[in-house]
Structure 1
Amino acid sequence: MNVLKKTGYLLGLPLILIAFWVIYTSVTTNFFIPEPATLVERFFSIWFAERFLSDVVPSVVRLLAGLVLSIVIGVSVGVVIGYVRWIRWLFEPLFEFIRAVPSTILIPVLLLLIGINDAMKITLIVFSCVWPILLNTVAGVTSIDEVQQNTARVIGLKGFERMRYLVLPAASPQIMAGIRQSLAVALILMVVSEMFASTDGIGHWTINFQNRVAIPEMWSGVLLLGIIGVALSAVFQMIQKRTLAWYEGLKENQND
């Protein structure tokens, strides 16, 4: 019964919106809102029959490459900064300043420095996505419970073992929160970079369709981006549940 209820909550609103969409397009002819059947046909014919390998795959590869690099850099640097107090005092104001710079304003700079290529797009994604991960990692490392630290010291945890069994597990809830924030940012910047500085990709063709007033085609790109976002979120939630199973169990016990 719980499964049926969760499924109902999950699919209820999308089904209502689709029903409203079908009814609306059946009683009116709005040029800017295509019929569901037309949109679905364009979606599969464009993004799976014509442009899957040439545009969809490169976009997803850039997105994932940017996210992976952001996670590696953010967690590594964040652990060092959080663990070493004088480094944190030295660099924290600089990081806060850089984080405040809008990422899209860097597109002209990166175009001049790197050029119109995949490296520029991945660099833009990394520059924006690394900060939520890095700052959440620092916060997680610096907020480790003092009792846990004393216990690790008593049992002789040092170096790599201390990092593996104390620091990373204790900071992992906040690290995962930072990664979750970065997912949406990465998708947005993938699209923006392809709109302004690319000859391929989902963002490039979505804006191209809009400029050509190809409305169903444009909406098919929006639909694809939404599906990619939902898929990223679903995969992340699966990983989070496995990674933080101990943490979720601890919260449940505290609630009980």
Structure 2
Amino acid sequence: MASLVGLRGVRAEGGGRRWRLNRIVSQIVAIVGALLLWQLVATTLTSEGTLPTPWSVGRALVGLWGTAAYWSALLTTLRAWAIGLLICSVVGVPVGLALGSSRVAMASTRWVIDFFRTIPTVALLPLLLLLFGATARMEITMIVLAAIWPIIIQSIYSVSQIEPLLKWVVRVFRFSVLDRARFLWVPSIALMVSTGLRLSATMALLMAISAEYIGGAPGLGSELVRMQTTLQRPEVYAYAVTAGLLGVAINVVIGRLQRRVLCWHPSIREGH
């Protein structure tokens, strides 16, 4: 029986490795296909110089790596993104948990949240420019106004997902505040809150680039505009590719952290 169980474990592990290998191969094939399509469109369907080829964009990106302006813009964008996301987390999670813990508070604030979260943050950019100018403060404010809502909403619904029976058991056995947080609140809300954080991280990066591109705050977006005004098309696409790669890297890092920190959660274990 033990040998049979071990054989099943080896087969399951082998199947998981094959699945991961097939996934990596399919991703590589998709990337190569997208690059070939880009090359075809750039060389046949557009006028010369309008759409740079992947090779020219890659050379421009490598050239930008040797400039201080590129790394300064990248670090500036990352700093504004990190500060904005930190503010969203520090404010959004407690507010969401407090609202979700009270039916009256949740019912009375639902229309307020639905109203403000549907306002396009870009529409507030002229007002923020009047208040703060093209500064990092304006950029961080835009990030917070746009990215705080997924965290608040996920925190609200994470509280409502807690089993009433578990709440009753905690009350009956008179758990301390620390034990309630450890054995009830954290296991119940951690997954949904981390999912909201992941959504907010992507939205925060989008707002950071938008604030720099449209509002003129220093960062990748403003450097992209500068290259665009001087008609350096490969460099324009190189900065756009940098923003895309940065978004992918942020999503991958947060996803790995989520799986590592919440490895005990049933849905994470099933995903593996």
Normalising by the residue count of structure 2, what TM-score does the alignment of the two structures yield? 0.84
Cα deviation code 1:170-216 (max 9, x no counterpart) = 01222122222223211211111001222521101112222332211
Cα deviation code 1:109-145 (max 9, x no counterpart) = 2222233221111111011111011011101101211
Quick one: which amino acid aligns to residue 184 of structure 2? L
C-alpha distance in 2 between matches for 1:115 and 1:126: 17
Does structure 1 residue 143 correspond to structure 2 residue 161?
yes
C-alpha distance in 2 between matches for 1:44 and 1:227: 14
**Match among 35, 43, 55 for residue 73 of structure 2:** 55
**Match among 22, 46, 64 for residue 5 of structure 1:** 22
Does structure 1 residue 242 correspond to structure 2 residue 260?
yes
SS where residue 133 of structure 2 aligns?
Answer: coil
Cα deviation code 1:61-86 (max 9, x no counterpart) = 11111112112211111111111333
C-alpha distance in 1 between matches for 2:260 and 2:180: 22
What residue is the counterpart of 2:107 in the other structure?
Answer: 89
What residue is the counterpart of 2:181 in the other structure?
Answer: 163
| Contact in 1 for aligned 2:136/2:217 (Cα 8 Å) | no
Change (3 A) 1:214 1:159: same
| Contact in 2 for aligned 1:132/1:182 (Cα 8 Å) | yes
SS where residue 175 of structure 2 aligns?
Answer: coil
What residue is the counterpart of 1:17 in the other structure?
Answer: 34
SS where residue 56 of structure 1 aligns?
Answer: helix
Structure-to-structure mapping, 1:159-238, within 5 angstroms: 159-198=177-216, 200-238=218-256
Quick one: which amino acid aligns to residue 99 of structure 1? R
C-alpha distance in 2 between matches for 1:32 and 1:211: 14
C-alpha distance in 2 between matches for 1:196 and 1:50: 23
Change (3 A) 1:240 1:199: closer
Change (3 A) 1:190 1:247: same
C-alpha distance in 2 between matches for 1:196 and 1:134: 27
| Contact in 2 for aligned 1:54/1:200 (Cα 8 Å) | no
Unaligned runs of 5+ in 2: 1-17
Deviation of residue 25 (structure 1)?
4.9
Identical-residue share of aligned pairs (%): 25
Quick one: which amino acid aligns to residue 114 of structure 2? E
Deviation of residue 228 (structure 1)?
0.2
Structure label with greater radius of gyration: 2
Let me know the Cα RMSD of the aligned residues. 2.3
C-alpha distance in 1 between matches for 2:175 and 2:132: 44
What residue is the counterpart of 1:129 in the other structure?
Answer: 147
Unaligned runs of 5+ in 1: none
Quick one: which amino acid aligns to residue 195 of structure 1? Y
Change (3 A) 1:35 1:100: closer
Normalising by the residue count of structure 1, what TM-score does the alignment of the two structures yield? 0.89
| Contact in 1 for aligned 2:143/2:208 (Cα 8 Å) | yes
Q: How many pairs does the alignment contain? A: 253
Deviation of residue 8 (structure 1)?
0.6
| Contact in 1 for aligned 2:77/2:220 (Cα 8 Å) | yes
Structure-to-structure mapping, 1:110-125, within 5 angstroms: 110-125=128-143
C-alpha distance in 2 between matches for 1:45 and 1:184: 27
